[in-house]
Amino acid sequence: MNPAWLLARTLRDPASAGKLGPGEWTALFAVARAEQMIGTLAMRIQGLPMPEDARRVVRDAIASAEQGRTAALWEAEMARRALGDIPFVLLKGTAFAAAGLEAGRGRSIGDLDILVARDLIEEAETRLLAAGWEWVKPDPYDDQYYRRWMHELPPLIHRERDRMIDVHHTILPLTARITPDPRAILDAAWPLANGLRHPSPNDMLCHAAAHLFADGDLAGGMRNLWDVRCLVEQFGTEGLEARAEHHGLAGEMTRAIRLVQALYGPEPLAGSAGGWGDRLYLRRLTARDGWGRPTRKLTRLAFYIRSHWLRMPPAMLVRHLWTKWRKAHSPG
C-alpha cells in the first residue's frame, strides 16, 4: 500500500494499526511527519496494542503536540491582549485548538492566523507593532506584493517569542477569482469563554476548502481534508451548501467532501474515485514514498503552476515569477 494511503487508512480505522509490520510502522511515521500529521495520528492510535518502539514515537508525538498547542494558544492570548477592543477571529489550527474541537486533537499548528475587518487592519498593525511584533522581511517588493495583492499584512514575528502572526482581512487573495465574504465570517463568529472567537463550523469548513483548492498547491492537503472530515463529523453539514454558495466556494466544498470520502470515508475509493479530476487530486495528495519524500514530480509541478494561476491573473503571475527569478529565489 502507498504509505500516504496507509496513513489515511490508519487515521480512518486506528485498529488497523494492530496488523502493521515494522516496515509499515516506519513508513507510516515518516509520512505522518512529512504531512505534519504525526500528532493527529498519535492521538488516534494511542492506547492500542503496538510494538514498544512505536509506543515511544507515539508518546513523544503527543507531548510535542501538547507543547505546540500551549504555545499556539498563548500567541492567541497575547494577540488578544495586544489588540484590545479590535474584534478578531482565530483561523485554522489555533481556532480548532482554542475551541477544543476534534480537528484540533494532536494537530500541528504553525503561525497564528487571525481575521480582522479590513477597515481596522491598519490599527491592528499599529497595536501589534507596539506590543513587540516586527516585520519579518524588509524586502520592498515582497511588502508591496503582500499589501496590494495578498489577503493579509506582510507576516509579523514577535521579537521575544519568535512566533509569526498572519493578519488576514479576507481568506483568499484579492487576486483570486473567488471572493469569499469575510464580513460574514466575522459577524457569524462563535465566542469562547476567554474572549477569543472562532468562525462558525460552516465557515471553518468553507475556509478549509478555500485553503485547499484556491490558496495553495495542495501542500498539506491530507491534513486539510482531515480537518474537513473532523468538522463534518462533529457539526454535520446543515446549511453548509448555502454557506459555501454565499462565499463562492460551492464547487470547492463539494470536491472537498468527495475527497474526504475517498481518503477517510467509511468506503474509501483508492484507485477508483469519482472523475479524472478527483483522481488527479488524490494522486497529488498521496504523492509520498516510505521516507516521507515527495514523489510524482510532474503532478506536483502541475499543481504548483495551477496554484499560482488561481491566485494571480497570468500577466501578474509572469511579473511575480520574473521578480522572484531575478532574485534567484527558487519557487516553493
Partner 1 sequence: MARYRAASLATLRIVPTDALTLIYHRASGITHIVDAPVPEILEALAEPLSADALLAKLAAQYDLLDADALALAVRLDELAAAGLVERL
Partner 2 sequence: MKHVTSLRIGPVGFRIGSAWRAPIDALDDLYRDYPRPVIPDFNVHLFAARPWRRYLRPSVHIGGDFVIPDAAPLPLAQALLAAEMGMNLQMALGQRGYLLLHASGVERDGRAVLMTGISGAGKSTLAALLMARGWRFMGDEFILIDPATGMAHAFPRLISLKNEAIPVVEALLPHARFGPRLTGTPKGTLRHVVPDAPAIAAMAEPAAPALILFPRFGFDPAERPVPPSEAFVRLTQASTNYVTLAERGFEALTDLVARAPAIAIDYPDTATGIEMVERLA
Residue number, 274 or 290, with CB nearest to partner 2: 290
* Residues at the interface with partner 1 (CB under 8 A): 67, 70-71, 73-74, 77-78, 81, 131-132, 160-161
One-letter amino acid of 221: G
Q: According to CB under 8 A, which one of 66, 187, 238, 245 is a site residue for partner 2?
A: 66
Residue number, 69 or 300, with CB nearest to partner 1: 69
Residue 211 beta carbon to partner 2: minimum distance, rounded to whole angstroms: 22
Q: According to CB under 8 A, which one of 1, 18, 22, 319 is a site residue for partner 2?
A: 22
Which of partner 2, partner 1, none sits in contact with 293, Cβ below 5 to 8 A by type?
Answer: partner 2
Which single residue is written with the C-alpha cell 503571475? 317
Stretch that binds partner 2, among 55-63, 187-195, 259-267, 270-278 (CB under 8 A): 55-63
100 phi/psi in degrees, rounded to 5 = 65, 35
Nearest to 152 by CA among 142, 163, 162, 139: 142
Stretch that binds partner 2, among 48-56, 131-139, 184-192, 215-223 (CB under 8 A): 48-56
Which of partner 1, partner 2, none sits in contact with 262, Cβ below 5 to 8 A by type?
Answer: none
Contacts of 193 (CB under 8 A, 6+ apart): none
Q: According to CB under 8 A, which one of 137, 147, 183, 293 is a site residue for partner 2?
A: 293
Task: Tell me the C-alpha distance between 291 and 289, whole Å.
Answer: 5
Which of partner 1, partner 2, none sits in contact with 239, Cβ below 5 to 8 A by type?
Answer: none
Q: According to CB under 8 A, which one of 7, 11, 45, 61 is a site residue for partner 2?
A: 61
Burial (CB < 10 A; 0-12, 13-18, 19+), residue 322, is exposed
Query: Interface with partner 2 by CB under 8 A: which residues?
Result: 22, 25-26, 29-30, 33-34, 51, 53-54, 56-57, 59-61, 63-64, 66-67, 70, 291-293
